[in-house]
Amino acid sequence: MNTLGTKLRVTVFGQSHAPAIGCIIDGLPAGFAPDMERTAAFMARRAPGRNAWSTPRQESDEPEILSGLVEGRTCGAPVSMVIRNGDQHSRDYSGLKRTPRPSHADYTALIKYGENYDIRGGGQFSGRLTAPLCFAGAFALQLLEQRGVTIAAHIAQIENVYDVPPDMADVSETELTALLHRPFPVFYSEAGVKMRQAIERARMDCDSVGGVIRCFALGLPAGVGEPMFDGVENRLAAALFGIPAVRGVSFGTGFDAAAMRGSAHNDPFRMEGGRVTIRANHAGGVLGGITSGAPLVVNVAVKPTASISSPQDTVDLAAGEDASLVIHGRHDPCIVPRAVPVVEAVTALTVLDMLL
Amino acid sequence: MNTLGTKLRVTVFGQSHAPAIGCIIDGLPAGFAPDMERTAAFMARRAPGRNAWSTPRQESDEPEILSGLVEGRTCGAPVSMVIRNGDQHSRDYSGLKRTPRPSHADYTALIKYGENYDIRGGGQFSGRLTAPLCFAGAFALQLLEQRGVTIAAHIAQIENVYDVPPDMADVSETELTALLHRPFPVFYSEAGVKMRQAIERARMDCDSVGGVIRCFALGLPAGVGEPMFDGVENRLAAALFGIPAVRGVSFGTGFDAAAMRGSAHNDPFRMEGGRVTIRANHAGGVLGGITSGAPLVVNVAVKPTASISSPQDTVDLAAGEDASLVIHGRHDPCIVPRAVPVVEAVTALTVLDMLL
Amino acid sequence: MNTLGTKLRVTVFGQSHAPAIGCIIDGLPAGFAPDMERTAAFMARRAPGRNAWSTPRQESDEPEILSGLVEGRTCGAPVSMVIRNGDQHSRDYSGLKRTPRPSHADYTALIKYGENYDIRGGGQFSGRLTAPLCFAGAFALQLLEQRGVTIAAHIAQIENVYDVPPDMADVSETELTALLHRPFPVFYSEAGVKMRQAIERARMDCDSVGGVIRCFALGLPAGVGEPMFDGVENRLAAALFGIPAVRGVSFGTGFDAAAMRGSAHNDPFRMEGGRVTIRANHAGGVLGGITSGAPLVVNVAVKPTASISSPQDTVDLAAGEDASLVIHGRHDPCIVPRAVPVVEAVTALTVLDMLL
Amino acid sequence: MNTLGTKLRVTVFGQSHAPAIGCIIDGLPAGFAPDMERTAAFMARRAPGRNAWSTPRQESDEPEILSGLVEGRTCGAPVSMVIRNGDQHSRDYSGLKRTPRPSHADYTALIKYGENYDIRGGGQFSGRLTAPLCFAGAFALQLLEQRGVTIAAHIAQIENVYDVPPDMADVSETELTALLHRPFPVFYSEAGVKMRQAIERARMDCDSVGGVIRCFALGLPAGVGEPMFDGVENRLAAALFGIPAVRGVSFGTGFDAAAMRGSAHNDPFRMEGGRVTIRANHAGGVLGGITSGAPLVVNVAVKPTASISSPQDTVDLAAGEDASLVIHGRHDPCIVPRAVPVVEAVTALTVLDMLL
């Protein structure tokens, strides 16, 4: 369902064209004073319409807090937040119920919910529902910062362009914090230039591209996580697959570990300044579900946006025959950049939940 | 913790060198008569010591059922099962607490549980704990078969050798069932030969190799799964990361989707024989957390075995200095083949849980 | 925390003096068209200020639905609802943090949340938070009605006045439906007259009285509920203790069973019209956690309102000394009548959750 | 299902006449050395056949620990325990499937599980399943003792005999510890004499009697518990209704609060020795779901044993007609004394779960 977390629980609600979207955050420690400017800035990183490579929809994204804060501090009650959907088109979406969009949740939602499914703008499966997640995530990031934990992600891949990461064992807080302030968060700006070119090419071709986001958590104590089915990987994977368009989640070297030998993949221990450190960090900071003290590294594969302007093969459900579909309107050729703060938010919420 | 599932719950217990390992299966429908021969055959696929490329430890793996079955049928009470650990070495493991094995859960378990952690044979993190999962999974596979669902996996990759899968949209029940009876489950036997050679080379080099397992579920109805945080991907990923050495979980085209364009990745719909089918199946049978009716395809990355015979850099925790470690004894150079039934078991348990 | 249910989940938010209160209902079947007039009428039964014996606060209780309904029908997305708090006094509540009210959650909330706790009007512990529960419960009652299940409660006791219930085995749908339309829901109107007199006496004495609510569910199939820790009793009790001022929950004959012998307490079976019936129904329709087909009967003890106008012994936390407290304003001398629909709502939500 | 708890989880398995019963305890802190003699002594308090007023069945109750302990200390892995059922009668129980016992879970289990239900000796609903709960509870009691928390219960009522409790606000550790060592745990021995007489009279009459158990937890810090649906009351009630024959759960003054006025029921605060104390403690140590620092007081109503030797009205399910049933064999005329340690165990497990 639409609730994330155990001790810190975020319940998300809304559809793209409902009166509003929003969330309830339950389990925040009392006395926390969220920085609302930072929260707004974090949410803005996800918002569409900010630049050439994103969807042109102008969303207000103005959160109104209905409960849980008194004079700017959490009081122990759940924080509830609502964002009004100002931008509700009266456009007719009923055609999409007849000729479903390939690789879109519309189709499976129609099967599950029947004709009452709210297909307008992607309904409850719209990327817009990630705005409340970012709101909640911004709070989690600030609370983690108070605990000495920094979370930040970079775009590791767009189509066939890679942002070669620094040594996963040695990424610094400075490097990570810098990512949080870049409009296009990569470690190497040249990679970023090429990625944006790949996105632009896809846009010119009425097509879309996918990518990979790599998220780091620095400063986590060793020993966090439970064995087997409640480990850090289980919890983070379950959470991150809640983000639309995510097709894979891996840790550290991830799927590349499949091609490696143990002698290359094993992370050596070394004493440094009187304490145990872990070199290489192919494991991504977690062994057997439990954090090792090395930076946590999680990779998220994002598929190319399903909505493209080119003609596609689909079916006419009413006529019971094959059909061709052209989706009108401008589409975001790559949601990866906007998904970066969402990955950070979901990671932060899950990590904080395990620390509480 | 050590419990998997919601309506169908498997709780696993034991350590490698405890008196026993086992599991409790709660929520099985009453009146089910498990085929114990098939169960034993399924468990045997996971058992070590069967051939040249696996660990030489001879485990009994003889399950004793303590409750939940009356005259061979489930009675509604939880099924409990115990496997005695006959093979308990009196060998001294205390050295491993001083010089932890690189990339092994030993290290994080020591931090979490302290000196009382049972490090003998990998303790509760031992691959041996997957035997009860296979026992429970064998039941789930049989119950799914009664519902027309077939689950089977192949070895998709070992080091740099690939078993190129058939069209993910058209894999047949015959092909899948065949996999279940192959000692080395690949679609193409040449790939299997090369994979075994890669494993043998690693063994000769006192090293290990990783791989990828791809698991299919055929016959699932469309519309299974809940949106956002309780979708098929969330549930399966959370479960599969409970298997030791798993580093990544993806669906359909998975991480390769990152390099694709939407026009290539989107799965066309087509009418065939009066019903909607999905071509290509890059999505792996699930859209927005909900099954589409196409075969479910999940990929699992397995790291190379951490225990290798070559010398490795570690630390001496007592002396507080760098150290070198050689792990004695024969080691399994590749656990991927034995992990295949475990992936099938965990997939089956999770899928059945969502159907109940 | 503030979430009720498993497959049908209600998350409640708000404080008495926050901008709003409300709830999210996740898991409602798609295509359900709630009757909003009936919903409003049901909520009105809980609202204060309707008559002489309740608190004079005039609440608007006007729910605004923000998502989950399209053209009056559920679309599969969570239903979210907000009620604005129009009636926010600017009155100073800080004194209550210094001299806590006896037997009030204020005191424990202050310990738990510290000085940031929102003490105004009882904060998140205010009875006002039961309004969203009634909203959600009204939906559940309508969905249960579609399944042939009727839920209704009567006031079984106020102070030392009892509404002697009819035979618990034979209560009829007509009798139950009648309760739902009575402003003061008792089976026998003379009992109701005496109860209101007891309340009025308490009010004249600047005091308050408690009572017992007995709730019936008619039409439940036999066989609902899981054994041991997920039975009907476990689930209902856990839910009903979420209502403020509830001090006890029992089933059927409840605590009176303690004084009975087995020969009197055991419910005989009898064949009637070709089917098994249960006489007497001391068990209250549930045996071993599983429904028996007899009417479900649950009793809820409600303590006398903690807020009374008479002087009370408390402490001055700042001065560290004993103190006397007089709580000003008009207080509800008995919340039992208003708690009746809340008990019905929580019972309905829990029962529906077990049926989904 | 058969699992209790969140962070500390006990999963119970077995049937009365299965090869074994037992439990898995997951989440115990590592390094805990359970006192096995005290554990055995605690379990013996529940065991039948010890004296005139209990059932004559001689159970071995000898627990065998299969995992989780290394050299007598918890290692972090789940503790698993098995008790063999030595005493399996070959007697024919099939008659009970035809003429169900009034007020017994047999009937509802037959409806739920069908003909495969294991009816022998009460199957999974047998009181024998409380032995593993006592095993786990003994561990919890010892861990709570280390945290300064004492848990003990007395028999508050048998039929119409009451053990008048001391002031609920002032019960001392000495008084509670004394209860734990009494074979018939009451505060006042005269009450105990009369209670045993009532039990003996019931036995002579081929009948049974019910009672009330009151359990105290002393030393709990204030501030434990979450609001609304995860409070101390919700959690304890959900757990305690898992004990067979429990019909009601209340806190402090419980259902008697219904007959009280607020001026009498409210618990005054008083400064004593520089700290806030709570007088009277009608609230039973919990306000709004959160502990107040006063002793936690929970009352549990136990129905008279359903199995009695007198003839009873039932139905013949095969013939579809009314029938008379006489249950042969000796029956326990009152399970209340043996249920005392079970209530203590379940309370301890739940309280410890909330403290972890």
Residue C254 three-state SS: helix
Q: Which residue of B has its CA nearest to C29?
A: B226
Name the residue among C323, C308, C344 with its Cα closest to residue C152: C344
Q: Would you call A318 an interface residue with chain B, using a CB distance cutoff of 8 Å? A: no
pLDDT number for residue C93: 81
pLDDT band at C168 (very low <50, low <70, confident <90, very high): very high
CB D86 within 8 A of CB D60: yes
List of chain B residues whose C-beta atoms are within 8 Å of the C-beta of residue A259: 157, 159-160, 210
Contact C105 D223 (CB under 8 A): no
pLDDT band at D96 (very low <50, low <70, confident <90, very high): confident
pLDDT band at C90 (very low <50, low <70, confident <90, very high): low
**Mean pLDDT across C214-236:** 97
**Mean pLDDT across D93-108:** 91
Tokens of A242: 């809640």
Alpha carbons B82 and D23: distance in angstroms, whole number: 12
Name the residue among B149, B137, B134, B135 with its Cα closest to residue B222: B149
At B202-238, the pLDDT tens digits run 999 999 999 999 999 999 999 999 999 999 999 999 9
Mean pLDDT is lowest, of B48-62, B99-113, D340-354, for B48-62
In this structure, chain C runs to a length of 356
Residue with tokens 């007899």: C294
List of chain B residues whose C-beta atoms are within 8 Å of the C-beta of residue C5: none
List of chain A residues whose C-beta atoms are within 8 Å of the C-beta of residue B109: 227, 288, 290
pLDDT at D91 over 80: no
pLDDT number for residue B330: 77
Q: Strand pairing partners for B64?
A: B82
Residue with the larger pLDDT of the pair A166 and D95: D95
**Mean pLDDT across B156-171:** 93
In chain D, what is the greatest distance between 2 CA atoms, to the nearest angstrom? Answer: 73
pLDDT number for residue B30: 98
Nearest by CB: A66 against C3, C14, C70 = C14
pLDDT number for residue B99: 93
Q: Would you call B73 an interface residue with chain D, using a CB distance cutoff of 8 Å? A: yes
Q: How many helices (H) and strands (E) does chain C have?
A: 9, 18
Average pLDDT, chain D: 94
Alpha carbons C83 and D331: distance in angstroms, whole number: 57
pLDDT band at D61 (very low <50, low <70, confident <90, very high): confident
Contact D227 C125 (CB under 8 A): yes
pLDDT number for residue C165: 77
- Which chains border C (3 or more CB–CB pairs < 8 Å)? A, B, D
- Which chains border B (3 or more CB–CB pairs < 8 Å)? A, C, D
List of chain B residues whose C-beta atoms are within 8 Å of the C-beta of residue C227: 76-77
Nearest by CB: D19 against B9, B66, B114 = B66
Contact A1 C26 (CB under 8 A): yes
Residue D172 three-state SS: coil
List of chain B residues whose C-beta atoms are within 8 Å of the C-beta of residue A96: none
Provide the chain D residues 20-59 that lie in CB contact (below 8 A) with chain B: 20-22, 24, 26-27, 30-31
pLDDT number for residue B87: 62
List of chain D residues whose C-beta atoms are within 8 Å of the C-beta of residue C55: none
Q: Quick one: what percent of chain B has pLDDT higher than 70?
A: 95
Contact C80 A22 (CB under 8 A): yes
Q: Quick one: what percent of chain C has pLDDT higher than 90?
A: 88
pLDDT at D55 over 60: no
Which residues, other chains included, contact D333 with Cβ-Cβ below 8 Å and sequence gap of 6+? D53, D199, D200, D202, D203, D207, D208, D209, D305
Alpha carbons B61 and B338: distance in angstroms, whole number: 14
Going residue by residue through chain A, which has 356 residues, state the pLDDT in tens, using 9 for 90 and above.
999 999 999 999 999 999 999 999 999 999 999 999 999 999 999 987 665 545 555 556 789 999 999 999 999 999 999 999 986 665 778 788 999 999 999 999 999 999 999 999 889 999 999 999 999 999 999 999 999 999 999 999 999 999 987 789 999 999 999 999 999 999 999 999 999 999 999 999 999 999 999 999 999 999 999 999 999 999 999 999 999 999 999 999 999 999 999 999 999 999 999 999 999 999 999 999 999 999 999 999 999 999 999 999 999 999 999 999 998 877 899 999 999 999 999 999 999 999 99
pLDDT at B192 over 80: yes
pLDDT number for residue A87: 61
pLDDT band at D57 (very low <50, low <70, confident <90, very high): low
Provide the chain C residues 164-203 that lie in CB contact (below 8 A) with chain D: 202
pLDDT number for residue A287: 97
Task: Calculate how close chain A gets to B71, using CA atoms only, in Å.
Answer: 32
pLDDT band at C114 (very low <50, low <70, confident <90, very high): very high
**Mean pLDDT across D14-33:** 97
Q: Would you call A100 an interface residue with chain B, using a CB distance cutoff of 8 Å? A: yes
Residue with tokens 């008569």: B33
List of chain C residues whose C-beta atoms are within 8 Å of the C-beta of residue B76: 227
At C34-60, the pLDDT tens digits run 999 999 999 999 987 665 545 555 556
Contact C66 A19 (CB under 8 A): yes
pLDDT number for residue D162: 98
Provide the chain B residues 108-147 that lie in CB contact (below 8 A) with chain A: 108-109, 111-112, 124-125, 129
Q: Which residue of A has its CA nearest to D354?
A: A7
Which residues, other chains included, contact A69 with Cβ-Cβ below 8 Å and sequence gap of 6+? A34, A75, A79
At B17-70, the pLDDT tens digits run 999 999 999 999 999 999 999 999 999 999 876 655 455 555 567 899 999 999
pLDDT number for residue D60: 63
Q: Which of A12, A16, A79, A80 to probe by mutation at the C interface, max C CB count within 10 Å?
A: A80
Q: Would you call B13 an interface residue with chain A, using a CB distance cutoff of 8 Å? A: no
Contact D247 C238 (CB under 8 A): no
Q: Which residue of A has its CA nearest to C16?
A: A67
**Mean pLDDT across C104-113:** 95
Residue D249 three-state SS: strand
CB B299 within 8 A of CB B212: yes
List of chain C residues whose C-beta atoms are within 8 Å of the C-beta of residue A114: 30-31
- Which chains border D (3 or more CB–CB pairs < 8 Å)? A, B, C
pLDDT number for residue A58: 54
pTM of the model: 0.97
Q: Would you call C335 an interface residue with chain D, using a CB distance cutoff of 8 Å? A: no
Task: Calculate how close chain C gets to D71, using CA atoms only, in Å.
Answer: 32
